Chains A and B, each alone.
Chain A
């Protein structure tokens, strides 16, 4: 994998997404959601997408806007139903979108496995529940585990706070969430950041995602939203 490219616009950055791709979308609710990359993906128009993200969109911006644009065939997530997930709820109830519910930790670990070259792993989460039905189980040292497979992305769209020109990333507070894991799990990782600095400006000890995982970087003006009705 070659060195990260710093690109001029989100539109240029998301040009790698193709019809039918699996796209890992960072964010937890709105924190860390790559709004500019998603808006660019809507303009780009790639469809029949499988989206892997913690939620299935809030309000009508970000991921919800992508769903509303009709570009998504399937959502793989841990928590679709929220106070303001009406765009997804409506598509789901009309049978226009598929849903695969994955426990939040399994979602993260299955992407971690993809990025780390792990073929599959035994995990205790979900044993004896409907989400483990049909999956291989094994008892190890007296405890039951379920076999879980990696989740790979064709493209990851994530948010970080600062990138350097090597593609090294640092994040900000809980907006970090899935970013570092998704960056490892996709063939192409696209990152929107609030600032790009020269190589050498980031403390190497503080780098969270090393540039080897990062392909395309674009600087944007950060936009923030708050989930309405959160409690």
Chain B
């Protein structure tokens, strides 16, 4: 069975090392936090200026001065720190952030990322911190469905959407399989539904088998 969204978030969380500094993108990647137990000591970064971000705020906890990058009211964990935007992105670009998790329209076999603009006529481009995260975090994990609604693969030989970053993605977590982008090519680390042969048939890229 393909993974549902919650199972996929749990699968990504499995690969986050204890004590990591992690940025979770807006939307689906936010769910990864639900699968990071406190004892792991993972510290969440939000690019609007905070380390030690806690879960979404509810009821009386809501403070308009405390939001995440998606502008959702959140809470602070003990040991949290606030900082301004230039510092927030310096810690990204400077290689201090261990992992970021982002969604994507497309990822190429070479690890190029497209997730900010469809380039469609009438679309309003909005990049936010995606380009900074893509080149800044030590590990860039993408979390997406493997196929678009029309059935076309989103892991492709070359991105057709405008790029967010070049050769920046390290792993691609999808409902069908987990892929690692390596210098030798794309390796299937784990598949949940389709066989390796099925994946090879449906994707236009060479696939390396999981290490035995």
**A interface list, Cβ under 8 A from B:** 28-32, 54, 58, 78-82, 89, 92-93, 99, 101-109, 111-112, 123-131, 171-181, 208, 224-227, 230-231
Contacts and interface: CB of A to CB of B under 8 A. Distances in A.
Contact of A177 (B48, B73, B135, B166): B48
Contacts, number: 161
A125 B66 contact: no
A108 B86 contact: yes
Interface of B: 26-27, 46-50, 62-67, 70-73, 76, 82-86, 88-90, 92-93, 112, 117, 122, 124-132, 135-136, 162-166
Nearest to A101: B125
A230 B71 contact: yes
A108 B135 contact: no
B89 to A, nearest CB: 3
B123 to A, nearest CB: 8
Contact of B89 (A80, A104, A128): A104
Contact of B48 (A28, A111, A128, A230): A28
Contacts of A179: 84
Contacts of B72: 230-231
A128 B26 CA distance: 23
17 contacts: A29-B67, A30-B64, A81-B126, A103-B131, A103-B132, A104-B132, A108-B89, A125-B131, A126-B135, A128-B165, A131-B131, A173-B82, A175-B66, A224-B65, A226-B64, A230-B70, A230-B71
Contacts of B129: 78, 103-105
A27 B33 CA distance: 25
Contact of A103 (B49, B67, B117, B127): B127
B72 to A, nearest CB: 5
B70 A104 contact: no
Contact of B71 (A28, A129, A131, A173): A28
